[in-house]
């Protein structure tokens, strides 16, 4: 049978052996696991599957084994006796009903929130059950800056599009509960993302650059109103850009340096870029803002590629015009394609992150499109949404845990946790 069409992880039991599941639980301390496997070895046991976890000092070890039926009583007696002396509880299921294979999860659901409550997980579990999806495993993936849980599930119809109704149900739970929920297909293909492209204003950074520039001309409120309409998709982006840039006419070009100095990165931005680069991602940004501001930021973060509009400057003064092609929604999408092509990366291996209507095309062509504190127009087409102000959540959506991030930061001396405001 083709392995890709197999829904179980199959194992081969040696002839003459019978299957059983052994479960050991209790307060963890050194030597428990070693003692379990010593006893199993003494009784000639075949190991078919093992899973062990330590949750806040509590050990849970489960083994699917093959044992000789004539040793069953002795095996049970030694396991329960020896491990009881170590403060552990042991159960052994020797029935013929033992499941011979482990379900392979078809999808991964990531839940992020501050906080995540039992009621949230109850609602998610109910939605999964109503759509015939079974929860296989749950693990924590983040405790900072939000709580993150990863839920492995098996859906009834794993074919492309087969989980559309479930996705809608989970989106409804996210909307009503305030937690972020993303569902993706499980498997190797979702581990092969290799390029990520960020929008800049209100995504990679907290501000809108054109509004910072307009403040120097005393026209910030006017420009901000036009920006908001463009990001909601109410205005053509190119037309709105030209209209807003006119407000900058006559400004001394030195204000650009002042704006660059005033930029505030979105919380988690440095950690996110640093972690992705460690993992071998190509990282970049494409912006409807301005290259004169993006370029120094890109150098600081070590981005591999970037693209933005160019403010026209004549005799050290902004003319109120941009030169060259305007970076609108279609150019953003084409830029992502170009970045991927030039790096030999397929589009299904790309991730795009943005917040506005001008990011719709870019997120739509990416293998994974993430809407970051986004306008409704973008949330409707995104694969996943983030509604908390921390860019680290993008890492969690990609299956990268806080523990993995922190361990890497500790190793190279970049570890820090900024106290969060209540």
Would you list the domain boundaries of the chain? 15-93, 103-191, 195-412
**pLDDT on residue 205:** 98
Q: Quick one: the chain helix, strand, coil %, rounded to 5?
A: 40, 25, 30
- CA 269, 270, 275, 278 dihedral sign is positive
CATH class of 195-412: alpha beta
**pLDDT on residue 101:** 63
Q: What is the DSSP secondary structure assignment for residue 400, as one 8-state letter?
A: -
Question: pLDDT over 70 for what percent of the chain?
Answer: 94
**Burial category of 291 from C-beta neighbours within 10 Å (exposed 0-12, middle 13-18, buried 19 and up):** middle
Q: What would the two tokens of residue 371 be?
A: 């809407």
**pLDDT on residue 367:** 93
Residues 228-271: pLDDT tens digits? 898 888 888 898 999 999 999 999 999 999 999 999 999 999 99
| E strand or H helix at 196 | strand 195-198
The residue from 28, 199, 328, 355 that is catalytic is: 199
Q: What would the two tokens of residue 87 be?
A: 């403060």
Q: At what angle do helices 254-262 and 291-301 cross, to 10 degrees?
A: 40
**pLDDT on residue 4:** 37
**pLDDT on residue 190:** 61
| CATH number for the domain whose boundaries are 103-191 | 3.30.70.260
Strand partners, 58: 27, 55
Same fold, 15-93 and 195-412: no
**Burial category of 422 from C-beta neighbours within 10 Å (exposed 0-12, middle 13-18, buried 19 and up):** exposed
The residue from 28, 180, 201, 359 that is catalytic is: 201
The answer to whether residue 201 is catalytic is: yes
**pLDDT on residue 2:** 36
**pLDDT on residue 188:** 61
Low-confidence ranges of the chain (pLDDT < 70): 1-11, 96-103, 188-191, 422
**pLDDT on residue 10:** 53
State the Cα–Cα distance between residues 177 and 23, nearest whole angstrom. 36
**pLDDT on residue 310:** 97
The answer to whether residue 143 is catalytic is: no
Tokens 């003319």 — which residue? 319
Homologous superfamily of 15-93 in CATH? ACT domain (3.30.70.260)
**pLDDT on residue 100:** 61
Q: What would the two tokens of residue 328 be?
A: 């609108």
Residues 162-195: pLDDT tens digits? 788 999 999 999 999 999 999 988 876 566 789 9
């Amino acid at each position: 049978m083709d392995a890709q069409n197999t829904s179980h992880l199959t194992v081969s039991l040696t002839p003459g052996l019978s299957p059983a599941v052994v479960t050991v639980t209790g307060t963890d301390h050194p030597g428990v696991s070693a003692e379990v496997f010593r006893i199993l070895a003494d009784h000639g046991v075949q190991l078919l599957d093992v899973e062990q976890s330590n949750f806040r000092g509590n050990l849970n070890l489960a083994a699917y084994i093959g044992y000789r039926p004539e040793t069953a009583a002795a095996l049970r007696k030694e396991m329960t006796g020896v491990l009881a002396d170590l403060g552990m509880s042991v159960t052994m299921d020797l029935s013929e009903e033992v499941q011979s294979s482990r379900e392979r999860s078809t999808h991964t659901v990531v839940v992020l929130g501050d906080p995540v409550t039992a009621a949230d997980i109850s609602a998610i579990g109910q939605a999964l059950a109503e759509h015939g999806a079974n929860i296989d495993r749950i693990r924590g993936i983040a405790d900072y800056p939000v709580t993150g849980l990863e839920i492995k599930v098996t859906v009834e119809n794993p074919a492309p599009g087969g989980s559309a109704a479930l996705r809608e149900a989970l989106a409804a739970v996210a909307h009503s509960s305030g937690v972020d929920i993303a569902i993706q297909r499980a498997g190797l293909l979702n581990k092969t993302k290799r390029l990520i492209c960020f929008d800049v204003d209100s995504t990679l950074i907290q501000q809108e650059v054109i509004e910072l520039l307009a403040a120097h001309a005393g026209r910030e409120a006017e420009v901000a109103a036009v920006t908001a309409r463009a990001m909601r998709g109410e205005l053509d982006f190119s037309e709105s850009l030209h209209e807003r840039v006119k407000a900058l006419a006559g400004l001394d070009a030195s204000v650009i340096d002042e704006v660059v100095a005033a930029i505030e990165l979105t919380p988690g931005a440095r950690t996110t870029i640093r972690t992705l680069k460690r993992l071998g991602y190509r990282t970049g940004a494409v912006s409807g803002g301005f290259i004169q501001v993006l370029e120094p930021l890109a150098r600081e973060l070590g981005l591999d590629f970037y693209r933005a509009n160019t403010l026209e400057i004549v005799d050290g003064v902004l003319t109120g015009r941009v030169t060259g092609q305007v970076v609108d929604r279609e150019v953003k999408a084409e830029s992502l394609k170009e970045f991927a092509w030039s790096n030999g990366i397929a589009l299904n291996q790309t991730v795009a992150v943005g917040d506005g209507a001008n990011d719709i095309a870019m997120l739509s062509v990416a293998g994974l499109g993430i809407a970051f504190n986004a306008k409704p127009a973008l949330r409707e087409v995104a694969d996943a949404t983030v509604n908390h102000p921390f860019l680290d959540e993008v890492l969690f959506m990609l299956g990268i845990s806080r523990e993995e991030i922190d361990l890497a930061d500790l190793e190279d001396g970049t570890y820090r946790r900024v106290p969060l405001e209540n």
